[in-house]
Amino acid sequence: MCGIIGIASNKSVSMNIINSLKKLEYRGYDSAGIATLTNNTINEKKCSGRVEELEKILFKNPSEGNVGIGHVRWATHGIPNTLNAHPHSSEKVSVVHNGIIENSDELKKTLEEKGFKFKSETDTEVITLLVTESLKKSDPLESVFKTLKKLKGSFALGIIFKNHTDIIIGARRGSPLAVGYSKEENYLGSDSYALKSMTNKISYLDDGEICVLSKSEISFFDANQNKINKKIHIVSDDENTADKGDYKNFMSKEIFEQPNTAKKCVSEYIDSLKKDINIYNFPITPGEIEKIILIGCGTAYHSCLVAKYWFEELTSIEVEIDIASEFRYRNLKFSTKNLYIFVSQSGETADTAAALEICKKNKVKTCSVVNVVESTIARNSDWVLPIHAGPEIGVASTKAFLGQLIVLYILCLKLSSVRNDIDKKSYNINIENLKKLPDAIAKTLKSEGDIQIMAQEFLKARGSMFLGRGSSFPIALEGALKLKELSYLHAEGYPAGEMKHGPLALIEEGLPVIVIAPKDKYFEKTLSNTQEVIARGGKIFFITDIKKRLLSTNIRLRLRVPHLDNFLSPILLTIPLQLLAYHVALLKSCDIDKPRNLAKSVTVE
Ligand code: AGP
């Protein structure tokens, strides 16, 4: 994780670095720092905590300089304190780093034997001292090349040099890095999002590449030190970027944006005139796809899990799902008849990107379902299906989950149609229902009042359980994940039918249990499982889409969402769970957009 920014300009850069770091805080927010160059001096300032703290330090004691680097950290090696915050500077260089140096202990030992002293507990400081050592005999570029050869692991780096006050060197292996072009200044950034407010002209470094940027020029080199050219991308100017408007925080804005997210996504893919889905150029002839493998992490994995139920129900294609961090290390049998689908909001998640890389090495066809179309995962896959959700800033994913579900469902419908797995009439009905989804989401959001009441009941709870069967099981997992990450309250998601195989032992008087029970083929079974929980004292919150009032006694609260069809139920049932996690966190005064220990984009393994 962590965020990097670098600016080489003809004017003072510190305030622009601070502003960019604020945009990068979604990548990490436990400490922050900046280093600029003036009169052959490295001005390093850093602190634990948020960029706001760093800004206060600079306000009292400004940092001059037309070249500088900045960093927001998500701690991996060493606790989040000022000493471990980046940049890490010696008397000659200053370094910001994103990633993990796996052989840092070994390198540290060798450097200490040579008399180098370390100030921090980080793995990054070995890079600072290796470059410093190389500078005795080499120029900056050569020193960086020599240093990179000694490093194992993943990194994106930004480096400035006391005696070369006009340049920043950037390097990438594993962790994303971009450069931005402007008339009188150039930029380095860990993603294009941080650069967008300054430029829309971006180039992305590939693994092994190095860039040298000054205010007027950017040069690129491959791993063999050959000069190379890079393509310049004009990045899309996403609407409503980092503005939370009248909302208290980004998460509430993003939850309430979901009717529009759905509308935009549906209208991008549905051709209302032809009553068809606009998805073409499949990387494998649809009729020849034997298996689909869906891969993601966290919330994105949950959307894969929901999609598995859809693909199994609507198509004749075999489906597997996997968590990216597991997929990448399994001994898999790859097949060119399989389509490997990678789901990721950011498109930068390290495990998902590595899993995709393995597929590429095995020469199988890949598809990505992403929000950020300029991302590494999108650029590296054969086929991209964007979710069109617009920037998602809250660390807890809400509207992107919704977008992922919609795109996966649309893909599933299209495949079922082109493979003749579905009849024309059902296909048309399903498309018509999809078009009604935005309104149904808007209606579901009206349940907020009931959910606020429900949230009160979680305040004294020692834990909670989320239960569902069929496609409501992944929704239970997602509900539990949202509550955990936002409110720090323990929550377990389970298939309701699994309860008696162990988790029922956790049920005690008053334990909040959320049952997700749409009117599907599992409904009666879920009711029986609910009775088993009631009999042991569980406090039931029943979320359903049926009108009939069932189980009127012993249910603490019954919440009804609109019903369109069984395929769209998981999407609608997700909304109350997002609101629940949000309101419990709000009552507990948690940091909603930046939950503790987390980061939006998990770019380390
Ligand atoms: C969701 O609320 C989480 N913060 C997290 O699980 C996230 O979905 C996961 O890290 C994957 O991120 P990605 O979609 O950007 O790949």
3-state secondary structure 310-364: HHHHHCCCEEEEEEHHHHCCCCCCCCCCEEEEEEECCCCCHHHHHHHHHHHHCCC
**Do residues 343 and 300 lie in contact, with contact meaning Cβ atoms separated by under 8 Å?**
yes
Domain ranges of the chain: 3-234, 250-445, 448-587
Tell me which of 341, 345, 577 to substitute to probe ligand 1's pocket, judged by most ligand atoms within 8 Å of the beta carbon: 345
Residue minimizing CA distance to atom 9 of ligand 1: 298
Task: Give me ligand 1 centre to Cα 340, in Å.
Answer: 19
Query: Kind and range of the H or E element at 479?
Result: helix 472-487
**b or e along 176-209 (b: 16 or more beta carbons within 10 Å of the residue's beta carbon)?**
bbbbbbeeebbbbbbbbbbbbebbbbbbbbbeeb
Task: Give me ligand 1 centre to Cα 17, in Å.
Answer: 26
What pLDDT is recorded for position 229?
95
* CA of 598, closest atom in ligand 1: 4
* CA of 398, closest atom in ligand 1: 2
Per DSSP, the three-state class of 576 is helix
Domain 250-445 falls in which CATH fold?
Rossmann fold (3.40.50)
Query: Kind and range of the H or E element at 410?
Result: helix 399-418
* CA of 601, closest atom in ligand 1: 15
Residue minimizing CA distance to atom 16 of ligand 1: 344
Cα-trace Rg, the chain: 25
Task: Give me ligand 1 centre to Cα 186, in Å.
Answer: 30
Task: Give me ligand 1 centre to Cα 114, in Å.
Answer: 42
* CA of 296, closest atom in ligand 1: 16
* CA of 397, closest atom in ligand 1: 2
Task: Give me ligand 1 centre to Cα 31, in Å.
Answer: 21
Residue minimizing CA distance to atom 5 of ligand 1: 298
Please count the other Cβ atoms lying within 10 Å of the Cβ belonging to residue 103: 13
Which amino acid does the sequence have at 437? L
Helix axes 472-487, 569-587, angle to 10 degrees: 20
Residue minimizing CA distance to atom 2 of ligand 1: 396
pTM: 0.83
Residue minimizing CA distance to atom 8 of ligand 1: 299
* CA of 298, closest atom in ligand 1: 6
Q: Locate 316 and state its tokens.
A: 């004749």
250-445 and 3-234 share a CATH fold? no
Report d(CA 167, CA 564) in Å as an integer: 58
* CA of 377, closest atom in ligand 1: 16
What pLDDT is recorded for position 275?
84
- How would you classify the pairing of strands 539-544 and 555-560? parallel
Task: Give me ligand 1 centre to Cα 302, in Å.
Answer: 10
Question: Burial level of 378, CB count in 10 A (0-12/13-18/19+)?
Answer: buried
What pLDDT is recorded for position 381?
95
Task: Give me ligand 1 centre to Cα 297, in Å.
Answer: 6
Q: Locate 507 and state its tokens.
A: 């049920």
3-state secondary structure 147-195: HHHHCCEEEEEEEEECCEEEEEEEEEEECCCEEEECCCCEEEECCHHHH
* Percent helix, strand and coil across the chain, each to the nearest 5: 40, 25, 40
For the chain, the straight-line distance linking the first and the last C-alpha, in angstroms and rounded, comes to 9
Question: Which residue blocks in 164-277 are alpha helix, DSSP H?
Answer: 192-195, 250-256, 258-269
What pLDDT is recorded for position 525?
93
Task: Give me ligand 1 centre to Cα 296, in Å.
Answer: 8
Tell me which of 346, 488, 596, 597 to substitute to probe ligand 1's pocket, judged by most ligand atoms within 8 Å of the beta carbon: 346
Query: Which residues of the chain fall below pLDDT 50?
Result: 239-240
**Do residues 223 and 546 lie in contact, with contact meaning Cβ atoms separated by under 8 Å?**
no
Domain 448-587 falls in which CATH fold?
Rossmann fold (3.40.50)
Which CATH number applies to 3-234? 3.60.20.10
Token match 């680097």: residue? 69
Task: Identify the active-site residue in 2, 297, 367, 412.
Answer: 2
Query: Kind and range of the H or E element at 96?
Result: strand 93-101
What does each C-alpha distance from 5 to 81, 177, 179, 288 come to in angstroms? 20, 10, 9, 45
Task: Give me ligand 1 centre to Cα 397, in Å.
Answer: 6
CA atoms within 13 A on the CB side of 214: 7
Residue minimizing CA distance to atom 10 of ligand 1: 298
Query: Kind and range of the H or E element at 559?
Result: strand 555-560
What pLDDT is recorded for position 556?
75
Tell me which of 297, 348, 578, 582 to substitute to probe ligand 1's pocket, judged by most ligand atoms within 8 Å of the beta carbon: 297
**Do residues 198 and 24 lie in contact, with contact meaning Cβ atoms separated by under 8 Å?**
no
475 Cβ contact list (under 8 Å, min separation 6): 302, 306, 468, 516, 570, 573, 574, 577
Which amino acid does the sequence have at 292? I
* 211 is known as an active-site residue: no
Residue minimizing CA distance to atom 4 of ligand 1: 396
- How would you classify the pairing of strands 464-468 and 178-181? unpaired
Task: Identify the active-site residue in 22, 46, 196, 600.
Answer: 600
* 2 is known as an active-site residue: yes
Report d(CA 82, CA 45) in Å as an integer: 9
- Around ligand 1, the residues with Cβ closer than 6 Å are 297-300, 344-346, 349, 352, 395-397, 485, 601-602
What pLDDT is recorded for position 325?
96
Q: Locate 537 and state its tokens.
A: 């004292």
